């Protein structure tokens, strides 16, 4: 992978950008399509994660390697558990073998799944022997990645008794769980989510259905950051809708604090910098429901000279990299005063931004994209820039319009 130099850009920030479908929605729908083959999907994500999911679902061999794709690993663990008569080894990259999956395996085992660890208990690679799961009741700690929960919910309607999933403790990333339930509802599956209990009813078949995937809100965050750091930026993004299933659509509200107005048009959103906007000295956000936009917000605050306190970030420790430590390392190189804990980030207002700094990306697509908008403030280098293909393969092609 190559290092990409982003020269300081002082031109107008005005463009129209079309963003690929959400990989979060796409990967959920691809699993559901396995259960309901008469489901047709439009505007599917062209991300590495979705391409890996497609490849894995088509794999008829004895081993499936999903690389860095955490969503694919978690969703396939449940799906493969239901494939009666199959015997598959599910593995991934070195980093994937460090990411815990024991909570999901334990929950599936209570439903009767036959899953064993090949190397280290609680981690991939897994040997999964498909069997008929009846469904029923399962308990899971609420304070874990929502992908574990969604993994179980996606197979729930295919089980004879459906699923009653009870949470223990506070629930993390509720919007991603609601996204999964929303997609199930679109297919006519009956669900309920009250208090600590989710119920999903069984449904053997659905009517012929076509679903168009909404574009990815996480990917939109980098353009929100650009407009925020600009003097009078204006960017139109497609395809988006006001009633979104994606938790990261909270961007429209959060970025008001940075002077960005969002106007919902027909299938598009228009981002505009508010004329005469005065930067706040400090902002504080609890991102427990939208942790994937934390990197973007931290970099926005740094670029605008705003101090910030961000909380609700404990799931960032087990992403493609430890995102909190990565942010601390790279922002410090740029001149930031920053501290992190296991679930919070604290940034002091920047006095000066260092130039020609080379940003390490840690095999994490969001690190590369979150730092890119700083080209409005200084010249910056992005190491292993190709990593963006994980979620947004055409990012640099689109971003070249601002260089």
User: Six-digit token pair at 176?
Assistant: 């991603």
The owner of tokens 């929950």 is 107
Report the distance separating Cα 60 and Cα 185, nearest Å: 30
CB-side neighbour CA atoms (13 Å) of 325: 8
Residue 337 CB coordination number (10 Å): 14
Kindly state the tokens that stand for 30: 């691809």
Q: Pairing relation of β-strands 63-65 and 4-6? A: unpaired
Tell me the Ramachandran region of residue 127: left when phi exceeds 0, alpha when psi lies from -120 to 50, beta otherwise.
beta
268: phi then psi, degrees, rounded to nearest 5: -135, 165
Instruction: Establish whether 292 is a catalytic residue.
Output: yes
Locate the DSSP E strands across 29-186. Answer: 39-42, 63-65, 87-91, 114-117, 126-129, 136-141, 163-168
Angle between helices 323-333 and 294-304 (to 10 degrees): 20
How far, CA to CA in Å, does 193 sit from each of 74, 97, 166, 182? 21, 32, 10, 11
- Candidate list 87, 292, 309, 342, residue with the active-site label: 292
CA 2, CA 387: separation in Å to the nearest integer?
Answer: 10
DSSP 141: E
Closest CA to 235 of 2, 10, 12, 16: 16
Looking at 224-306, which runs of residues are DSSP E strands?
Answer: 234-238, 260-264, 268-273, 282-286
Distance, CA of 354 to CA of 223 (rounded, Å): 22
- Positions annotated as catalytic residues are 292
């Amino acid at each position: 992978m190559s290092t990409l130099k982003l020269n300081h850009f002082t031109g107008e920030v005005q463009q129209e950008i079309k963003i690929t479908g959400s990989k979060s929605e796409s990967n959920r729908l691809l699993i559901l399509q396995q259960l309901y083959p008469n489901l047709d999907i439009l505007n599917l994500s062209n991300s590495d994660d979705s391409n890996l999911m497609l490849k894995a679902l088509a794999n008829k061999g004895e081993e499936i390697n999903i690389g860095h794709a955490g969503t694919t690993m978690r969703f396939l663990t449940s799906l493969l558990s239901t494939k009666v008569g199959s015997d598959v080894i599910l593995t991934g990259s070195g980093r994937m073998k460090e990411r815990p999956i024991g909570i999901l395996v334990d929950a599936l085992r209570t439903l009767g799944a036959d899953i064993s660890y090949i190397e280290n208990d609680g981690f991939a690679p897994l040997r999964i022997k498909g069997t008929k799961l009846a469904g029923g009741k399962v308990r899971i700690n609420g304070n874990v990645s929502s992908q574990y929960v969604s993994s179980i919910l996606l197979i729930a309607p295919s089980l004879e008794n459906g699923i009653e999933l009870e949470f223990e403790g506070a629930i993390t990333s509720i919007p991603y769980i609601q996204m999964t339930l929303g997609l199930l509802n679109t297919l006519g599956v009956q669900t309920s989510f009250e208090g600590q209990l989710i119920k999903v009813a069984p449904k053997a078949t659905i009517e012929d259905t076509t679903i168009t995937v909404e574009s990815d809100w996480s990917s939109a965050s980098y353009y929100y950051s650009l407009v925020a750091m600009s003097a009078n930026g204006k960017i139109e993004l497609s395809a988006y809708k006001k009633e979104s299933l994606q938790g990261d659509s909270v961007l429209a509200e959060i970025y008001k604090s940075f002077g960005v107005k969002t106007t919902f048009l027909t299938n598009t959103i228009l981002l505009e910098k508010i004329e005469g906007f005065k930067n706040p000295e400090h902002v504080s956000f609890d991102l427990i429901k939208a942790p994937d936009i934390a990197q973007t917000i931290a970099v926005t605050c740094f670029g605008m000279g705003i101090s910030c306190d961000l909380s609700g970030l404990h799931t960032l420790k087990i992403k493609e990299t430890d995102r909190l430590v990565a942010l601390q390392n790279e922002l410090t190189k740029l001149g930031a005063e920053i501290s992190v804990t296991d679930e919070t980030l604290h940034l002091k207002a920047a006095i000066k931004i260092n130039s020609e700094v080379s940003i390490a990306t840690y095999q994490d697509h969001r690190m590369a994209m979150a730092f890119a908008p700083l080209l409005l403030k200084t010249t910056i280098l992005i190491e292993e820039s190709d990593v963006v293909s994980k979620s947004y393969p055409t990012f640099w092609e689109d971003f070249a319009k601002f260089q």
